[in-house]
Structure 1
Amino acid sequence: MSTALPGTSLPVLADLVPARAFRGATVRDAALVVGAAGFVGLAAQLSVPVPGSPVPVTGQTFAVLLVGTALGAWRGLAAMALYLAAGAAGMPWFAEGTSGTGMPTLGYVIGFVFAAGLAGTLARRGADRGPLGTAAVMLLGNAVIYAVGLSYLAHDLGISLSQAYEIGMEKYLFGDALKIALAMGLLPAAWRLAGRRG
């Protein structure tokens, strides 16, 4: 795993997108942020209901952590803040085409903002260059999402954290492991490809 020295940072995948193709870095970054929010919105529609739980299985978590890692901290955080704000305002791109704030799963979406920022920070230190570092990014990002999501779920439904764990996390761990394994191959491969093209 490549790591940056203290006080320095490494490029993330989004930095490899040439700014001149967008007439400047500001336009490029804005396009990446909007596109990333849309990507997560599409991934949210890959949704399978789970009996006995208000939390469906979706592609969101995987997409969020890919976005954070690929875009870096501030762009990833901005993309997920846009996703949250637009969805809360009525854009039907939360899981199962929902929107608004009156849902017990909103905490997971709030967690996306922090998880994307964390993933991007770790990517700046080179954590996405190898399989083990990528696994660490995904594990920590998932931990942040669950910490916020389960706390909100417990509060919204008036249940204990252990009950929230049972309906909002326990059944999803195997799928999370599969997503982590996929990311362990995908992100380092993207860097190898970028190196060959560079």
Structure 2
Amino acid sequence: MSTLSLAVGRPTLADRLISRSILTDVMLVAGGAAFVGLLAQVAIPLWPVPITGQTLAVLLVGSTLGALRGVIAMAVYAVVGIAGVPWFSDASAGWQVVAGPTGGYIIGFIVAAGLTGWLAQRNWDRKVLGAFASFTAGTVITFAAGLPWLAASLGLTLEQTLQAGLYPFIVGGIIKALLAAGIIPLAWKLTSRPKP
């Protein structure tokens, strides 16, 4: 017997914990969007710039929910933020955030969640090395969308764009990819253990 669900393809970590259905999909998507909004408010002081939990949350949501639900969760995050919920970084909200210099990163989150979710559905997230590669790819996608948007929005040269939008965030991006690569495979191990 088949249950109607937004989840397509191979099971992800969320499917390991909760059976697939439209209701659980809606709850997971809403929870994923809220999780990103919550972690976007967490800032850790680091040189040369503080890092937020926003990108880490995007990677975790994409990997946990899979490609389609991850994409929908990040689209919901963007739309609800545009509608006025102050859950973009620094509790910002509104169309001006997405239309502004950092809007490309928010659009990149949608694609990044899709990619990490797609890779998770191919079991890349079960081992640390594959998970790190997946999360690094998701981070690269975020920058690939964000940097041209930043340059066009502010009229920056290539070097100015890299100085403002990439170089200061490399260390934080690596740390987030490593954290996610530790969390998700560990979660798979913990959920795979037989119950006593």
How far apart are the structure 1 equivalents of 2:194 and 2:92? 40
Name 2:85's counterpart in structure 1.
91
In structure 2, the gaps of 5 or more residues are 1-7
How far apart are the structure 2 equivalents of 1:17 and 1:159? 46
Q: Is the counterpart of residue 39 in structure 1 residue 35 in structure 2?
A: yes
Secondary structure at 2:26 match in 1: helix
Q: 1:178 to 1:52 in 2, by over 3 A?
A: closer
TM (norm. structure 2) is 0.87
Q: Is the counterpart of residue 158 in structure 1 residue 155 in structure 2?
A: yes
How far apart are the structure 2 equivalents of 1:49 and 1:100? 26
Name 2:122's counterpart in structure 1.
125
Cα RMSD after superposing both structures: 2.2
Residue-by-residue CA offset, 1:9-63 (whole Å, 9 max, x unaligned) = 53100112333xxxx711100000001100000011013689998xx63111110
Q: Which runs of 4+ in 1 moved over 4 A?
A: 48-53
How far apart are the structure 1 equivalents of 2:179 and 2:17? 23
- The 5-angstrom pairing of residues 41-60 of structure 1 reads 41-47=37-43, 57-60=51-54
How far apart are the structure 1 equivalents of 2:115 and 2:79? 19
Name 1:105's counterpart in structure 2.
102
How far apart are the structure 2 equivalents of 1:9 and 1:98? 35
* Amino acid in the other structure paired with 1:28: T
The count of corresponding residues between Structure 1 and Structure 2 is: 185
Q: Is the counterpart of residue 62 in structure 1 residue 62 in structure 2?
A: no
Shift of 1:105: 0.7
Secondary structure at 2:152 match in 1: helix
Shift of 1:193: 0.7
Shift of 1:184: 2.1
TM (norm. structure 1) is 0.87
In structure 1, the gaps of 5 or more residues are 1-7
